[in-house]
């Protein structure tokens, strides 16, 4: 695909600026002008204030409807720059250059962009698909260990919920992946992207089957909220998958072997590294809040067997209470 843009504006964050500089050099080599805007590296940068700054940058760079925005960074940069691309001139092209493993396997795919509201995560956003996603695995080398490890929660999520082949690959190659073996990582990233793209193609606007990507996120989000986000997303999702599988077992929806193999795989990637410290009551309360938002119904994603999960299960409250309380003991 040739993009042939009339201009290119690069958005990045302070930590990954060197990667953005490389991208800028490559763009200049083909005779196109470009410039870099670096936001502070923080989730707090997903704000209306930073969005305004990015839009002003695009204005200064005179990005017209033939131009494009290039997001070089993790999910934070991708979500913010993606939203700016979605609304600048009513939409200009977006190229994602993810530099975290999470962004490569998850956030750069699927077209969800956005910033946070004052109190609510990802409250302001748009669906805006990138014209291209360019993942250079060499960027992973400089990624801090916790960020690398956390991304495997989403990787295991794809494997358990929809890709048995990926599960087997992960099982056989845990140590190589922990060592960040590039060839193995490439296979894993490829399969995750394929899995996500398949679902998104069926349900871009997230009104049906895309909900399968929420596997592990029901209890996971509640744990994040209940701990004031001290437990990171990846760890929380790992916890959430352990909870979901135990609920599925209690409801006779999956076998004990399924629960055990998922546990073993999460253990192999150090997820979570230790059991999360949280008051079960708070976690359950956070889940109830989530519930109100969706008219009193939590739709659980339940694993039936490795590689296959189902959406839209309702679970009796006492079962949830029992499993969450035990999982936090």
Interacting residues with ligand NAD (CB under 6 A): 13, 15-16, 41, 43, 46, 73-77, 79, 99-100, 102-103, 106-107, 110, 112, 122, 139, 142-143, 147
Helix axis angle, 164-178 relative to 256-268, nearest 10°? 30
Q: How far is the CB of 188 from ligand NAD (least distance, A)?
A: 16
Strand 34-39 and strand 8-13: the pairing is: parallel
Q: How far is the CB of 142 from ligand NAD (least distance, A)?
A: 4
Q: How far is the CB of 56 from ligand NAD (least distance, A)?
A: 21
Residue closer to ligand NAD, measured from CB, 107 or 262 = 107
Q: How far is the CB of 190 from ligand NAD (least distance, A)?
A: 18
Q: How far is the CB of 304 from ligand NAD (least distance, A)?
A: 24
Q: CB of 60 within 8 A of CB of 53? A: no
| Cβ-based neighbours of 300, under 8 Å, separated by 6 or more | 218, 244, 247, 312, 313, 314, 315
Residue closer to ligand NAD, measured from CB, 49 or 314 = 49
Q: How far is the CB of 260 from ligand NAD (least distance, A)?
A: 28
H or E element that contains 112: strand 112-115
* Residue 282 tokens, joined: 């708070």
Give just the sign of the alpha carbon dihedral 177, 180, 181, 183: positive
With b for 16 or more beta-carbon neighbours within 10 A and e for fewer, the 194-214 pattern comes to ebbeebbeeeeebeeebbbbb
Residue closer to ligand NAD, measured from CB, 48 or 317 = 48
Closest CA to 150 of 97, 229, 77, 248: 229
Q: What whole-number distance in Å separates Cα of residue 25 and Cα of residue 167?
A: 39
Residue closer to ligand NAD, measured from CB, 15 or 261 = 15
Please tell me whether the peptide bond between 297 and the residue prior to it is cis, using omega within 30 degrees of 0.
no
Residue closer to ligand NAD, measured from CB, 93 or 196 = 196
Q: How far is the CB of 219 from ligand NAD (least distance, A)?
A: 17
39 phi-psi bin (left φ>0, alpha ψ -120 to 50, beta other): beta
Residue closer to ligand NAD, measured from CB, 12 or 258 = 12
Residue closer to ligand NAD, measured from CB, 54 or 143 = 143
Q: How far is the CB of 284 from ligand NAD (least distance, A)?
A: 23
Q: How far is the CB of 230 from ligand NAD (least distance, A)?
A: 16
Q: How many of the other CB atoms lie within 10 Å of CB of 28?
A: 12
Residue closer to ligand NAD, measured from CB, 94 or 306 = 94
Closest CA to 306 of 245, 234, 230, 232: 245
Q: CB of 90 within 8 A of CB of 120? A: no
Residue closer to ligand NAD, measured from CB, 147 or 171 = 147
């Amino acid at each position: 695909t040739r993009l042939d843009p009339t201009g290119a504006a690069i958005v990045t964050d302070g930590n990954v600026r060197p990667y953005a500089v490389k991208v800028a050099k490559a763009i200049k080599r083909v005779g196109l002008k470009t410039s870099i805007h670096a936001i502070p590296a923080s989730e707090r940068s997903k704000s209306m204030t930073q969005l305004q700054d990015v839009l002003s940058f695009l204005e200064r760079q005179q990005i017209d409807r033939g131009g494009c925005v290039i997001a070089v960074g993790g999910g934070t940069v991708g979500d913010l720059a993606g939203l700016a691309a979605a609304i600048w001139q009513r939409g200009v092209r977006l190229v994602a250059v993810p530099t975290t493993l999470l962004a490569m396997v998850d956030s750069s795919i699927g077209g969800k962009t956005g910033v946070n509201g004052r109190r609510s995560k990802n409250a302001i956003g748009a669906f805006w698909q990138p014209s291209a996603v360019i993942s250079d695995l060499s960027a992973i080398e400089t990624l801090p260990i916790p960020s690398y490890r956390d991304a495997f929660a989403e990787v295991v999520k794809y494997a358990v919920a929809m890709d048995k082949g990926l599960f087997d690959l992960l099982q056989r190659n845990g140590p190589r992946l922990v060592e960040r073996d590039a060839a193995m990582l490439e296979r894993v990233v490829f399969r995750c992207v394929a899995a996500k793209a398949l679902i998104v193609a069926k349900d871009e606007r997230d009104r049906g089957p895309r909900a399968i990507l929420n596997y592990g996120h029901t209890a996971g989000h509640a744990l994040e909220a209940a701990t004031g986000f001290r437990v990171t997303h990846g760890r929380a999702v790992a916890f959430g998958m352990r909870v979901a599988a135990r609920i599925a077992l209690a409801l006779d929806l999956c076998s004990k072997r399924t629960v055990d193999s998922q546990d073993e795989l999460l253990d192999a990637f150090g997820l979570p590294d230790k059991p999360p410290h949280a008051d079960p009551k708070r976690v359950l309360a956070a889940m109830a809040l989530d519930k109100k938002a969706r008219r009193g119904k939590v739709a659980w994603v339940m694993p039936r067997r490795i590689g296959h999960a189902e959406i839209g299960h309702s679970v009796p409250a006492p079962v949830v209470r029992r499993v969450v309380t035990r999982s936090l003991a």
